[in-house]
Each structure stands twice: as C-alpha cells, then as structure tokens.
Amino acid sequence: MKLLTPTDYVGSIYDIDLNNLKKIGIKVVVLDIDNTLVPTSTKSPTEQVSSWIKNAQSKGFEVVLASNNSQNRVQTFNKDLNLFAIHRAAKPLKYGFKKIREKYGVSNREICMVGDQLFTDILGANLSGIMSILVMPLTKDEGAGIKFKRLIENIAVRKYKKETYCLIGNPVLHSKSAVLHNTVYNFYNMPARYLLCHTEKENLKQTVEKFINTGVKGFNITVPFKTDIIPHLDWISEDAKKIGSVNTVKIINKKCYGYNTDGDGFIMQLKSDGTTVKDSRIKIVGAGGSTMSIVYALVKEGAKNIIIYNRTIEKAKQIAENYSNVAALPLDEFSAMDCEILINTTSVGLFPDVDSSPVESLDGISKDTAVYDIIYSPPETKFMKMARKAGCKAYNGSKLLIYQGLIADEIWFERSIINKVLVEKISNKLIGGNENE
Ligand code: ATR
C-alpha cells in the first residue's frame, strides 16, 4: 500500500504550496494533464492553468508535462505552453522520469510528480523514489476501467490521507487561514491539512458536493458567501440563524452542519485583552457582514447599549432593529465620546489604503476607551494610530482572525484547541507574513 501513498494530497494544483516545494529542494514539477490540469475532454489549457504554470516558472521551477495519452493529445495541449512534454509516458514505469533527469540534470529528489491517479502518477513516482502530490480528479466523467481504479484508490487514500479542511471564498488565495490552521495541526501533530478553495457563486453547490464526496471533514466560508452558503446546509446553529451567516461547516455522514464563530472569536479577543463587555457602552463604526455577528455576540455578552454608525444608515438600522439596546446613526453624526469600547468594522484603512480612517477625529474620547479595528493588515491602522495618540489602548483584528479559526477547529475536532502558547505562535507567524495580504 505504501507504493500507492502520495507524499501530499490536495484539492487541485492551486492548493500546492510552491514555496514549500522550493524550500525542500524541488526543481522540476511534472504535471499529468487529463483530470489534473483540465477535464479529459478539454483540448487546451485554461487561462487559470496557464497562469499557474507561469507563476511556477517565475518561481524558478521547470514545468514538464507527462501524460500516458497520445502524441496528438499532448502536442495540441502543449501548443501555446511550449513545455518539455512527454506523451505515452508509460506511467507508472520509470521511463519518463529518466528523460526528465537527463534533460535537466537533476536527481530524483529534485522532481515532484503531480497527478490525479494513484496507479499511474503516484505509483510511478514512488517506484522511482520521487515526491508525489495527488490532486482530486477534475471530473467524474471517466471510463469504466478508470472508475474501477478510483474505487481502489479511494480505499487507499482514505487509509493514508490526512483529513482535509478547506476555506471557500472569492478571493481566498491571499487568506491567512491556511497558515493559521496548518500551524494548529502541526502544533498538536494532528493528521489534518487546510486548503484554500477559490469558488464562484454559481459553483457553491458543486463545491459543497465535491467536499462531501471526497471526504472533506469541514470547511470555512469567507466573503462573499457567508449567507449564500445557508441553503446548501442541512442544519445551522441558533447563533448562525440569528446572525444570518455561517463561517464554519462540519460534515458528518455526508450532512453539513453550519456555525458562526466570528462573534465568539471577537468576545474571546476582548477577554484576552482584559476588556469587559458586560454593562459597557459600545460604539461601532460600520454595518457590513462582520458587524452582524459582532453585535449579536456583544448583546449576548451583556453590553449595556450599542450605537452603530454607518455611511449607509439603512444597513445600520437593519442590524439595530433586532435588538432593544442597539441604535443606528449616520456616520457623519459620529462622536467618540461616552463609550467604553469603540470598534471599526469598516474596510477603511485596509492595505493599501493605509492612510484612511473611517472617522475624521476621535475628539473627546476617554483614554479608558478600548479601541478595536477588525483589520489586521496593516497591523496598526490609521484608526488605531488616532486612538493611541489620544492615549487609548488599541488592538487590531489578528486575534479575532485567530480565535474564530481556533473555535472552528474545536467544532471540527471536538477537543480543546485554544492555548496561549499556540495563539502567540500563530500571531507571530501571521505578523511575520506578507503585510500586503
Ligand atoms: P458588506 O457590506 O458587503 O458586507 P463589508 O466589507 O463587510 O461589506 O462592509 C463594509 C463596511 O465598510 C460597510 O459598513 C461600509 O459602509 P456602507 O454600508 O455605507 O457601504 C463601510 N465602508 C466601506 N468604505 C467606506 C468608506 N469609504 N467610508 C465609510 N464607510 C465605508
């Protein structure tokens, strides 16, 4: 069975961590074509495939095509790509890899095979001592022979693969969630991995079905699908129902259970900073997606009253009308006076717009007001700078991101995950990452 076990198992080529491949010394990435790059019936590469290949090349990788298919099929596919391509590669035999070693003067340890089939791509790589990455096949539209192979593959992969968790959204590729969750799994030595899955709105249903059918155990949802996902779920928690959005789904026996961990994540951040919600007067600037979950959690936690200020007053009113102690006011009536907690939930100040603040001034703010910005890039927003200048403590959104993720992991794994050392570790990793994201 070991010979059928891939080194790594991901959703699609877009989930491959090229930087990591670089780090471990891979120089040549060998790609299977059918059902790995494009569905079997697709004659030429999509724009997305071409740009993935260009990106890999720009990172210094040699990219090679290796297909068991005919010369005609491979040449047609390779017409514009102009890659070194092997047709009738006779996978799982070693023949193709020998050609690659000779062409690029590399050793087996510097090659990585990427494909969707265990009996050709993965077995072949393992027989040659080459790293392999198995991707989920792009279509199920396959002949009977391949279907039978898949059956055996599923048994093999289920036995050895790590449990898969995903983030769906649009865009997702710059999300820090993969770093966050994979740090958790490494920290506890859990056999799990977290992948990013770019999805279009019209494919949401198919994506959920794909997750169910391929044994994905759970997924997060980010903008703009936190509400759109609801009709595709079998059950949602009372909290998620009241908030009107879901950011975490657990899959059990092919059924999808939805939760919202954003609000609880925010409360956890406040607690970790020593900020008390109970009986506090709170002001929020912004009435977008995350405001709903934050307001819900603050009210539940015993806030005395909340005022939501928003440029579009209607959106603030829609949230406020669900609660007796929440009011809505237009943004131009904002005043920072008379509150213990002040929160920015707008996107104003987000990289690269780092010199903007959602409000012109914080005049009159008490230095005892705890100020929060849910933005984490840049780590200190203009809004936070203004607050610190007025003598207040100000916090960015990185802890919110971390806690909502850790609560999701606790839902998925039904065990305690949150731990001070781990939170610090993730925090350092996120801040150490690319600030542009
Ligand atoms: P959505 O509303 O689609 O959920 P969001 O990113 O969660 O989007 O929320 C964006 C928030 O930032 C909204 O409160 C938005 O105000 P509007 O409701 O008036 O659009 C606010 N926002 C974005 N740009 C802004 C700006 N230049 N000035 C003030 N508020 C702004």
The rounded Å distance from CA 357 to ligand 1 centre is 12
Residue 263 tokens, joined: 């609000």
Marked catalytic residue, from 226, 283, 382, 399: 226
Confidence check: pLDDT of 35 > 60: yes
Question: Given a cut of 90, is residue 418 above it in pLDDT?
Answer: yes
Looking at the domain assignment, is residue 405 inside a domain?
A: no
- My answer on whether 193 and 238 are in the same domain is yes
Average pLDDT over every residue of 15-36? 92
User: Could you give the 3-state DSSP secondary structure of residue 29?
Assistant: strand
pLDDT at 319 over 60: yes
Residue 293 within any structural domain of the chain: yes
Q: What is the pLDDT of residues 249-294, one digit of tens each?
A: 999 999 999 999 999 999 999 999 999 999 999 999 999 989 999 9
Q: Do residue 268 and residue 244 come from a single domain?
A: no
In a domain, 40, yes or no: yes
CA of residue 286 to ligand 1 center, whole Å = 6
The CATH code of the domain that includes 223 is 3.40.50.10860
User: Quick one: which atom of ligand 1 is closest to the CA of 331?
Assistant: 29
Q: In terms of domains, do 284 and 210 share one? A: no
Give a yes or no: residue 162 inside a domain: no
Pairwise pLDDT comparison (197 vs 297), residue with the higher score? 297
Task: Tell me if 318 CB under 6 Å of ligand 1.
Answer: no
Instruction: Tell me how many domains the chain contains.
Output: 3
Active site includes 23?
A: no
- Asked if 33 and 118 sit in the same domain, the reply is yes
pLDDT of 274 reads 97
112: its two tokens: 């990585």
Crossing angle of the two packed helices 420-432 and 177-187, in degrees rounded to 10: 140
Residue 7 and residue 127 in one domain: yes
Structural domain that includes position 193: 167-260+415-432
Residue 139 confidence (pLDDT) above 90:
no
Q: Which tops the pLDDT comparison, 352 or 155? A: 352
Same domain, 309 and 355: yes
Instruction: Show the beta-strand stretches assigned E in 97-239.
Output: 111-115, 131-135, 163-169, 192-198, 218-221, 235-236
Same domain, residue pair 253 and 275: no
Report if pTM > 0.95: no
- C-alpha 121: how far from its chain's center? 27
Residues 43 and 122 in one domain: yes
The three-class DSSP label of residue 182 is helix
Q: Which of 103, 102, 96, 125 is nearest to 113 (CA)?
A: 125
Give the strand pairing for 235-236 and 255-259.
parallel
Q: Are 164 and 215 in contact (CB under 8 A)?
A: yes
Give the distance (Å) from ligand 1 centre to CA of residue 332.
Answer: 14
Query: Residue with the nearest Cα to atom 8 of ligand 1?
Result: 288
Does one domain contain both 252 and 344?
no
**Whose Cα sits closest to atom 13 in ligand 1?**
288
| E strands, 160-221, in order | 163-169, 192-198, 218-221
Answer yes or no: is pLDDT of 1 > 60: no
Token couple for 184: 């958790």
Maximum pairwise Cα distance, the chain: 75
What is the spatial distance between Cα 426 and Cα 150, in angstroms, rounded to a whole number? 37
Domain contains 289: yes
Alpha helices in 31-143, H assignment, sequence order: 47-58, 71-78, 95-104, 123-127
Of the candidates 165, 136, 166, 139, the one whose C-alpha atom is nearest the C-alpha of residue 153 is 136
pLDDT value of residue 437: 31
Point out the ligand 1 atom lying closest to the alpha carbon of residue 347.
Answer: 12
